[in-house]
Amino acid sequence: MTARLISRLAAACALFGAATPALAAEVNIYTTREPGLIQPMLDAYTKATGTKVNAIFIKEGLAERVAAEGAASPADILMVVDYGNLIDLVDKGLAQPIKSAALDAAIPPAFRDPEGRWFATSMRARVVYASKDRLPDLKALTYEELADPKWKGKVCIRSGQHPYNTSLIAAVIDKDGKDGAKAWLTGLKANLARKPSGGDREGAKDILAGTCDLAIGNSYYVGLMRSGKGGADQKTWADSINVILPTFAKSGGTHANVSGAVVAKNAPNRDEAVKLLEFLVTDQGQKLFAETNYEYPVKAGAKTDPIVEAFGTFEPDDHPLVEIAKNRKAAAALVDEVGFND
């Protein structure tokens, strides 16, 4: 057989697929989420579908990296926490709209982009940690009540400029207007036991130490601490607090932030990306989010982890996050205006 004939046969096989095995489907994720927090979901998806999932953890500069890669970017999905970060990806032109009946059916309208450019995959409530010893009878609280002078010197919180807090302040602006939010933030500042610092877990630590009686933190941290995943010390911190699901005085809902994802603008495996997102909001995917991260499922009826379920009935504020997000810059400006972190 001549070299020319071999070449022609090889070309024919390639053209008609006669001798070339099908390539396994795959999908690429850029994520700011710690690998351990999402790997169980990705492994389950691969097991169910055979699709290979390549996840690259990018702690900082995810958007900048994707923008620099441009049309050559291998990223199919960009996965981040905080609705503000999701919206920023859209505003920077790094996401593309998709249509999915499965995603629309599973995710309430408040927790997805109306134009299909970002989707929440799980929720976390902005809650209050309360001392079991000093406030054993405190069962309910509104966000507005945190500014009540009766709590003077009793509240701990992380930096007011942290996205978790600017998101909450933006929601207060949404409910009470800028002037109302400024008065609330001023009152909350007057009630602080210490300068805003550390993380949410430190709020529980400081309650145990007697520095404060109340702390503002995310719900899932309590699950991580009480489960023992944060170590024996953190379990002791978490066991010293009760969790209160505050509500807004006007709407009755609890502020919820999200973790979520977008399909990258130049996704080379777009269809596979959509399929993976759809899996993440199935009952199986949502159960894994709840068990692994102690987050609230975004899909109604999906199971919540027992540790988190024990906090009580969670009824998230259902005003669309895209509307609340319009107040983010004003929220950050208010933090500086009242000298919250001083």
Calpha distance 284→280 (Å, rounded):
8
30 labeled part of a ligand binding site: no
Cβ contact 268:87 at 8 Å: no
Cβ contact 120:83 at 8 Å: yes
Helix (H) / strand (E) element for 52: namely strand 52-57
Contacts of 264 (CB under 8 A, 6+ apart): 30, 66, 73, 75, 76, 77, 78, 94, 95, 96, 273
Task: Residue count of the chain, please give it.
Answer: 342
Pairing status of strand 214-218 against strand 155-156: parallel
Specify the residue for token string 């700011």: 32
Using alpha carbons, select from 163, 103, 115 the residue that is nearest to residue 298.
Answer: 103
Q: How many CB atoms neighbour CB 156 within 10 A? A: 27
45 labeled part of a ligand binding site: no
Using alpha carbons, select from 285, 272, 274, 334 the residue that is nearest to residue 104.
Answer: 274
Cβ contact 196:159 at 8 Å: yes
Residue 75 corresponds to which amino acid? A
Beta strands in 109-231 (DSSP E): 119-131, 155-156, 214-218
Residue numbering of the annotated binding site for Fe cation: 220-221
Residue numbering of the annotated binding site: 220-221
